[in-house]
Structure 1
Amino acid sequence: MYRERASRLRGAVVWVNTPDEGGVGRVLPDGCMDLLWNEGRLLVAGPDTRAHVPEGAVGAWAGLRFAPGAAPAFLGLPAYELLDRRVELAELWPASDVRRLRDRVARAADPGRALEEIALDGAAPADPLLGRLVEALDAGRPVAAVADELGISVRQLHRRSRTAFGYGPKTLARVLRLQRALALARAGVPLAETAVRAGYADQPHLSREVRELAGVALSGLAR
């Protein structure tokens, strides 16, 4: 069973997932990165361009999902280095530091809260441009128009987007649109109306995009 709550870290979410016989489930692209705890391991989930389906995962998972674009400042490396990857935190940070943090989470009654506290301890000031970028793309505005609004060139926007999110603004816009469509479908909005309200050209466009990013039909995800 999956549960989540808002974190004390701005824009972040603390979550836990105890899988059933079917596994931990399909993880969809969302523009975010996660700090993970599973079976005594600390890991980092990089940004996804396609749905991630864990293989052979066992036991309960806990995670801290950073706000879009926030994790690279905490980790100390650009998001594109972790694109479509799950890596042990020890591959990114000194082993002694990771052992100390791993022991800290292992001793905690609530691993999710422990991850949250680790992130709060190492949180860096948020770049205000990133929030404005996400808001503008999520509203469906074109990339060139967003660059003008932010006062930077399209090339600069692409570079900063890759560093913060792992991919360029066009891919980020597709990911955010997928999340909008999923929220509408889960709320019971008919697919044709979902396509229009989420910003797709039509329902076939919606279907193609969802299958490409999620690997399954939207109706299946909504259930």
Structure 2
Amino acid sequence: MRIHFQNASIPTRAANRLKYRLSLKESQARQVTSEVFGYRDWTDLHSELGSTAASALDEGCDSATLSERRAYQASQLAASSVDLHGASADDFVQWWQPSAAHPHEEDARPAETPFAGSKEDLSFQEALSTLAHAVHHPVGHFEQALVTGIRRTENETSLSLAEAITDELLSGNRNREPEVARHLLEALASRGLPRSILNLSTSLALGDGGPKDEKRAAGLLAQLADSASTPDDLKRIAKSRLGTAQAHGNPQPAS
């Protein structure tokens, strides 16, 4: 069952949604997407763009045609052997809706048993991807998705990327958004990331992006100084600042 397209916008969007949902390599996401649409691979799909009248998207299909399409897509997805993190191929395709013009709008009811790669996880990955490729894009537009993702993700790479974006806010490599930076630091510090704990201490001591709280700032420095998991360079900084905090009250951000 081949679905024909006039351009690559729908296939590309579907491949990206699959990639971020399952943390796949782009090449793997494109291969699986191609197969779900009835093609041998991404090159085969692209070679056919515009050569035939476009197939109706899901919203334009009657219920019988849509059911048949979804069953085929689920069978192709299952045959790909990609790890769906516990979801059935049928349930995953119901979420993915690769051939829909407006995914998620067809059935707005929340899943009773959400699988790994929830809507929040997808929003987090999409926010990270957008910000990684657009340094001038306001981080605040994605604050909720980032904070939620930071607090719940088990993907260390994603967590590191979120911390790097926050570091750029603090260093001036992105447009200054102090309140957003403070909120991200709070989330990152809650995950026990030493550099973010150190930078949160600085923000609290300076009152940057939120209320000033020198007592809590000193407490975070003491936490870093006493922790065996704190890298040696950050531990030295924390001890130095802790020793002079009461006298100066003005620690500097970690580099």
Whether these two folds match at TM > 0.5 is: no
Structure of higher RCO (CA pairs closer than 8 Å, 6+ residues apart): 1
Larger radius of gyration: 2
When you count strand as a share of all residues, which structure comes out higher? 1
What is the TM-score when the length of structure 1 is the normalising length? 0.32
